[in-house]
């Protein structure tokens, strides 16, 4: 019996030892925990706080023992709370509560994890995601919405209009001949113009109208609560303002022409938002066919019911359109050449000069074994190379003394003016480089861009020599013609500085053969 009692005592001692060990381990966990641990009685009075609580709340533990923490209310597993720490920024905590016993009394074990940094990162992530979402819907270049946003915006707007019986319109805009701006001045310049155009559009429309960059130079404006009449007026205002605005940088300025198509609900009787876009697209095509730079709505266009065409009909139409375009281009080119001849009236020297220059440039091109089409382009470019002089005052063109700095600056504008004149004619786009750069120099000291060596288009290098030669052998208002021998000396001297040395050699051959 005694033995049994001894064994029970030993067992109790073991249990107490184990309990002590377990308590020590628990104390160590609580002591070293990075979470604030607070024990309160059943009414919320603080009985214990661990050292981490001191750090989390930025206050001394002693001042809180015996004070009221409050009954923690937790919905589910945990609740977020704001951590108040005097003298420091407030934080965010995640509060967990367990009902337990403390010194044989009912108690709450409250654990508060400081999740301030985690929350800040989360907020950053949410912000970043919103930004990314916006970026995905915005065109990075102009800052306008992109085509991805169109479907969403148009359908939401349209169904709202239907529900509220309110009018709803779209204006589709296309910049006429925009490719020619890229061709003439490069894509960087074109991009700048698009950016400026987007900025101007934003200024003209109401702040809550939605502007979307639909394609390269195509834009859509979604206008809520706008009738067709209002939208046509708005489109006209856009056209008038844009026509007056000078786009570009300090070096080049261009004017823009626009085609604008207005489609409206309920006037156009379409079933959905995207149908309105489809209609606007059809109207825009007709606006372009009518010559562009105008506003059209379905009132201006003879609306034909859509019929499915046979493939042969489509082919027939395509061929017809190609022929018509060729014919139209030809007429335009002829008109420009006729116009170029008017320079004769303006500048007696230039008309005749142009014809002789054409002869020399063509001969150089032939000597260089250029393909037939290239020779034709050089011929056209040379014919029109001084076209821009129509924009220079006659006083400067006919001045019989040296030009002053302002007058020189004025005359240096003529390549640019020439390009502006031919820009709307698609068929003449290939000659733009030769026209624009025929006053560049091999050493980079020419104008308008200071291009060097092979960076100057070949056509421009050919026109340059032919142009200078013909100028030197002609009488000018301020000097007599130079003798041909002297002119040859000047040209040779300019080889490698003013002119492409290879073309100078070819030109000398051409002249010798002529003799």
Residue 69 or 178 with smaller CB distance to another protein = 69
What CA–CA distance (Å, rounded) separates 213 from 450?
Answer: 34
Tell which one of 12, 20, 55, 67 touches another protein (CB under 8 A): 67
Tell which one of 15, 70, 484, 489 touches another protein (CB under 8 A): 70
Cα dihedral across residues 422, 426, 429, 431: positive or negative: negative
Q: How far is the CB of 103 from another protein (least distance, A)?
A: 22
Residue 90 or 330 with smaller CB distance to another protein = 90
Q: How far is the CB of 211 from another protein (least distance, A)?
A: 33
Q: How far is the CB of 37 from another protein (least distance, A)?
A: 13
What CA–CA distance (Å, rounded) separates 206 from 201?
Answer: 10
Q: How far is the CB of 112 from another protein (least distance, A)?
A: 7
- 437: helix, strand or coil: coil
User: Which segment (62-70, 181-189, 471-479, 488-496) binds another protein by CB under 8 A?
Assistant: 62-70
Q: How far is the CB of 123 from another protein (least distance, A)?
A: 11
According to DSSP, residue 454 is labeled G
User: Which segment (56-64, 224-232, 296-304, 481-489) binds another protein by CB under 8 A?
Assistant: 56-64
- 111: helix, strand or coil: strand
Q: Among 456, 492, 487, 489, which residue's Cα sits nearest to residue 470?
A: 487
Residue 112 or 226 with smaller CB distance to another protein = 112
512 binds another protein (CB under 8 A): no
Bridge-based pairing of strands 79-83 and 168-175 is unpaired
User: Which segment (78-86, 139-147, 404-412, 472-480) binds another protein by CB under 8 A?
Assistant: 78-86
Look-up: residue for tokens 């002089």? 389
What is the largest distance, in Å, between two alpha-carbon atoms of the chain? 146
81 binds another protein (CB under 8 A): yes
Tokens of residue 229, six digits: 């009449």
Residue 71 or 408 with smaller CB distance to another protein = 71
Look-up: residue for tokens 């502006």? 420
Bridge-based pairing of strands 36-41 and 105-114 is antiparallel
Secondary structure (DSSP) of 158-217? HHHHHHHT--EEEEEEEETTHHHHHHHH-HHHHHHHHHHHHHHHHHHS-TTSEEEE-SSS
Q: What are the start-end ranges of the H helices in 347-404?
A: 348-367, 372-383, 394-397
User: Which segment (87-95, 225-233, 487-495, 507-515) binds another protein by CB under 8 A?
Assistant: 87-95
Binding mask 168-207 for another protein (x = CB under 8 A): ----------------------------------------
Q: How far is the CB of 97 from another protein (least distance, A)?
A: 9
Tokens of residue 282, six digits: 């059809």
Cα dihedral across residues 249, 251, 255, 261: positive or negative: negative
Q: How far is the CB of 99 from another protein (least distance, A)?
A: 13
Tell which one of 37, 52, 95, 161 touches another protein (CB under 8 A): 95
312 binds another protein (CB under 8 A): no
Residue 36 or 421 with smaller CB distance to another protein = 36
What CA–CA distance (Å, rounded) separates 483 from 491?
Answer: 13
Binding mask 391-410 for another protein (x = CB under 8 A): --------------------
Q: Who contacts 198 (Cβ-Cβ below 8 Å, separation ≥6)?
A: 142, 143, 144, 211, 213, 219
Q: Who contacts 352 (Cβ-Cβ below 8 Å, separation ≥6)?
A: 344, 474
What is the SS3 assignment for 223-265? EECCCHHHHHHHHHHHHHHHHHCCEECCCCEECCCEEEEEEEE
90 binds another protein (CB under 8 A): yes
148 binds another protein (CB under 8 A): no
Q: How far is the CB of 40 from another protein (least distance, A)?
A: 10
52 binds another protein (CB under 8 A): no
Residue 84 or 337 with smaller CB distance to another protein = 84
Residue 111 or 361 with smaller CB distance to another protein = 111
126 binds another protein (CB under 8 A): no
Q: How far is the CB of 52 from another protein (least distance, A)?
A: 13
CB atoms within 10 A of CB 28: 10
Tell which one of 30, 50, 52, 93 touches another protein (CB under 8 A): 93
What CA–CA distance (Å, rounded) separates 14 from 6?
Answer: 12
User: Which segment (63-71, 166-174, 177-185, 279-287) binds another protein by CB under 8 A?
Assistant: 63-71
What CA–CA distance (Å, rounded) separates 395 from 456?
Answer: 31
Query: ∠ CA(203), CA(204), CA(208), 5° rounding?
Result: 80
Binding mask 9-48 for another protein (x = CB under 8 A): ----------------------------------xx----
Q: How far is the CB of 28 from another protein (least distance, A)?
A: 24
Name the site residues for another protein (rule: CB under 8 A): 43-44, 57, 59, 63-64, 67-75, 79-84, 86, 90, 92-93, 95, 112
């Amino acid at each position: 019996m005694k033995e049994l009692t001894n064994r029970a005592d030993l067992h109790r001692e073991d249990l107490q030892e184990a309990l002590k060990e377990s308590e020590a381990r628990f104390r160590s966990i609580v002591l070293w925990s990075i979470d604030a641990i607070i024990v309160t009685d059943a009414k919320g009075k603080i009985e214990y706080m661990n050292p981490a609580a001191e750090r989390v709340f930025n206050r001394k533990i002693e001042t809180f023992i015996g004070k009221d923490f409050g009954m923690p209310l937790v919905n589910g597993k945990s609740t977020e709370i704001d951590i108040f720490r005097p003298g420091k920024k407030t934080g965010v905590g995640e509060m967990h509560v367990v009902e337990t016993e403390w010194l044989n009394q009912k108690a709450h074990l409250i654990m508060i994890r400081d999740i301030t940094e985690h929350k800040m990162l989360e907020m950053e992530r949410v912000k970043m995601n919103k930004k990314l979402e916006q970026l995905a819907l915005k065109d990075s270049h102009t800052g306008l919405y992109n085509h991805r946003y169109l479907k969403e915006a148009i359908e939401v707007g349209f169904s709202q209009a239907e529900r509220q019986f309110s009018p709803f319109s779209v204006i589709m805009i296309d910049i006429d001949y925009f490719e020619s701006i890229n061709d003439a001045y490069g894509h960087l310049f074109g991009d700048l113009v698009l950016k400026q155009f987007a900025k101007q559009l934003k200024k003209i429309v109401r702040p809550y109208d939605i502007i979307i960059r639909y394609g390269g130079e195509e834009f859509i404006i979604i206008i809520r609560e706008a009738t067709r009449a209002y939208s046509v007026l708005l489109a006209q205002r856009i056209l008038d303002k844009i026509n007056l605005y000078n786009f570009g940088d300090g070096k080049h300025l261009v004017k823009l022409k626009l085609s604008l198509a207005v489609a409206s609900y309920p006037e156009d009787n379409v079933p959905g938002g995207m149908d309105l876009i489809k209609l606007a697209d059809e109207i825009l095509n007709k606006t372009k066919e009518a010559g562009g730079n105008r506003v059209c709505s379905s009132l201006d266009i003879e609306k034909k019911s859509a019929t499915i065409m046979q493939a042969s009909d489509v082919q027939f139409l395509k061929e017809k359109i190609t022929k018509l375009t060729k014919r139209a281009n030809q007429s335009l080119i002829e008109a420009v050449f006729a116009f170029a001849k008017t320079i004769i009236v303006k500048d007696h020297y230039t008309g005749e000069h142009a014809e002789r220059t054409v002869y020399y440039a063509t001969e150089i091109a032939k000597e260089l074994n250029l393909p037939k089409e290239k020779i034709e382009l050089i011929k056209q470019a040379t014919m029109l190379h001084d076209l821009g002089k129509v924009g220079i005052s006659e006083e400067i063109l006919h001045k019989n003394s040296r030009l002053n700095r302002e007058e020189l600056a004025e005359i240096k504008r003529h390549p640019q003016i020439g390009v502006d004149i031919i820009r709307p004619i698609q068929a003449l786009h290939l000659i733009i480089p030769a026209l624009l750069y025929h006053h560049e120099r091999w050493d980079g000291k020419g104008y308008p861009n200071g291009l060097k060596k092979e960076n100057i288009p070949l056509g421009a290098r050919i026109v340059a020599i032919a142009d200078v030669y013909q100028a030197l052998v002609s009488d000018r208002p301020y000097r007599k013609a130079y003798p041909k021998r002297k002119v040859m000396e000047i040209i040779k001297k300019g080889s490698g500085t003013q002119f492409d040395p290879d073309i100078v050699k070819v030109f000398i051959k051409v002249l010798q053969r002529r003799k």
